[in-house]
Amino acid sequence: MEWPKHVCDLYDPIRSLGTGGFGSVWLAKVKESASQDVSDDALSHVAIKVVGTPMNMKKSANRRRAEKGYFHREELVLKEISHPNIMRVLNIIQEDTSEISDIKTCAPYCMILSYHKGPTLEMLLNHGGALGMPMARDLSRQLLVALSYLHGCAVIHRDIKPDNIIVTGANRAEDDCWSDGVDAEEAVKSQKWHLILIDFGFARPLHPDDMNTEKLDNIKEPRDDELQYHSVNDPLESDEGGDALTRSGHKISGLTLRKGRSSNNLDASISKVKVRGLSAVGNKNYAAPEILKGIRDSSRNKNNNEKGNHEPLAECVSDYGMVADAYSAGATIRFMLTGVPPSESVEDFMARLNNPLSIICRALICKSKNPNHREKRYRSNEDLSNNARRLVLGLTHWNDAKRTTVRAALSYEWVREDNADLEGEKSGVNEVKSSEHGDKVKYLKCALEREV
């Protein structure tokens, strides 16, 4: 796929950083001759997101509409938000296909983004398996802070997964990423690792009509016995019977409910309001159960759309809210802690891993590999602390009405361990501000003006 001429005049391509459903992302160097035309003079390298099918290629009208719609929405959202854990948009280059004939062989939409050097979380997990506890806790907190900020702006990301998270300062060749020792704790204190949330192609800014407070009447205040957990020998049981997370593919044993007052009442929040007819997008392995079980043809939704709602960009829609992001975050955190992909049960995976034949095969394979090769580490649910399991269980609850919201998760003990003094800090990527907890939703201008 060719780049538009104006993009080539400003940037030199270096290598591909990845591909997605609607295009690709490239690392590029800013040309010296064009530095004055670039929004940030301090940047020598950028990431360029190239979106859209060239006009000379056959694609359906719906496909082209979706490409343009998602690109336009991502542009508007990124222009209005600003957070140290979120990528920045620097420039938008969109060619007018009606006036330029040469554009027929080029991608019509280009987004110039801040470049952040480092592996994705997916790369780290695929390389060494479960992260060290200090790093896992640090990245979990940064992810929840970034999502809390987005939800405070009434934005659903809808594609939270390890491949959309960059970890600057991380190096697969260094041991501290997988260490549980002092070296990793020191790395956390020095703020060595910085999480960057990327790819807002599926992000959706919500309108106040979507979050009509009348809908809160349908959300029951969680009972006292639904708000706290403690460790016991029996698995968590739902009101429908059986393990509450088995149906969603995230089985966490060793926890059950107990009665008692919760110090945090944020679970009964606007985050749980379901918005009708949202596009059913994202990765199925990280998607919340309510998205998957409620999928239907968008054509069925056209006559039932609420007043003012825009027609969905996808062919399939579902009803869900901001708490769907909480589920995806919980699935990502579980992957960090156990090294087991969310598509598999931890117990089943560990049973296969500890099978005698599997152990012999791994030993033979390790002998034939490079001596510097890192053997992947995995943790069972029992290897996790009660506080860590409690967080994952809350975020990945199959019932969205009982699921822990992102802002409530920030108050969980495991997230706040060794971070008690961070709220008082005046700078740094770990800073927590009250506005980032989404106490009062501040809707984006593009949503209020119905631009998306």
Express each pLDDT in 24-75 by its tens digit: 899 999 988 765 555 555 678 999 999 887 766 777 788 888 888 899 999 9
Confidence of residue 298 (pLDDT cuts 50, 70, 90): confident
- Contact by Cβ (8 Å): 56, 104: yes
Closest CA to 179 of 140, 138, 145: 138
Instruction: List domains and CATH numbers for the chain.
Output: 5-114 (3.30.200.20), 118-452 (1.10.510.10)
Q: State the DSSP code for 260.
A: -
Q: Between β-strands 275-279 and 316-320, what pairing exists: parallel, antiparallel or unpaired?
A: antiparallel
Please give the residue that has the higher pLDDT: either 15 or 430.
Answer: 15
Judge whether residue 307 has pLDDT over 60. no
The answer to whether the beta carbons of residues 255 and 230 sit under 8 Å apart is yes
Who wins on pLDDT, 268 or 263?
Answer: 268
Query: 33 versus 321: which is more confidently predicted?
Result: 321
Mean pLDDT value across the chain: 79
**First-to-last C-alpha distance (Å) of the chain:** 27
Provide the pLDDT confidence category of residue 354 given band limits of 50, 70 and 90: confident
Q: How many helices (H) and strands (E) does the chain have?
A: 13, 14
Of 38-42, 391-395, 444-448, the poorest mean pLDDT is in: 38-42
**Residues of the chain with pLDDT > 70: what percent?**
71
CB 356 within 8 A of CB 145: no
Please indicate whether residue 29 or residue 260 has the higher confidence score (pLDDT): 29
Q: Is 268 exposed, middle or buried (0-12, 13-18, 19+ CB in 10 A)?
A: middle
Specify the residue for token string 């509450």: 244
> In the structure, what pLDDT confidence band is assigned to residue 157 with cuts at 50, 70 and 90?
very high
Q: In this predicted structure, what is the pLDDT of residue 241?
A: 30
Place 213 in a pLDDT band, splitting at 50, 70 and 90.
low
Among candidate residues 245, 186, 201, 168, the one with its CA nearest the CA of residue 402: 245
Q: Residues 441, 148: contact at Cβ < 8 Å?
A: no
Helical spans, DSSP H, in 28-181: 61-80, 121-128, 133-152
* 377 exposure class (CB count in 10 Å sphere: 0-12, 13-18, 19+): middle
pLDDT band at 250 (very low <50, low <70, confident <90, very high): very low
> How far are the Cα atoms of 60, 123, 210, 249 from residue 284, in angstroms, in the given order?
24, 19, 24, 11
* Helix H or strand E encompassing 356: helix 356-368
Q: Which of 35-44, 205-214, 224-233, 264-273 bottoms out in mean pLDDT, i.e. has the lowest?
A: 224-233
Residue 214: the pLDDT is: 54
Residue 133, SS3 per DSSP: helix
DSSP letter at 234? S
For residue 132, CA distances in Å to 83, 339, 442 come to 26, 10, 36
Question: What is the per-residue pLDDT for 435?
Answer: 39
Q: H/E element holding 337?
A: helix 323-338
Torsion of CA 235, 239, 245, 251, to 10 degrees: 10
Residue-wise pLDDT tens digits, 226-248: 433 333 222 333 333 323 333 33
Segment 414-441 shows an average pLDDT of 53
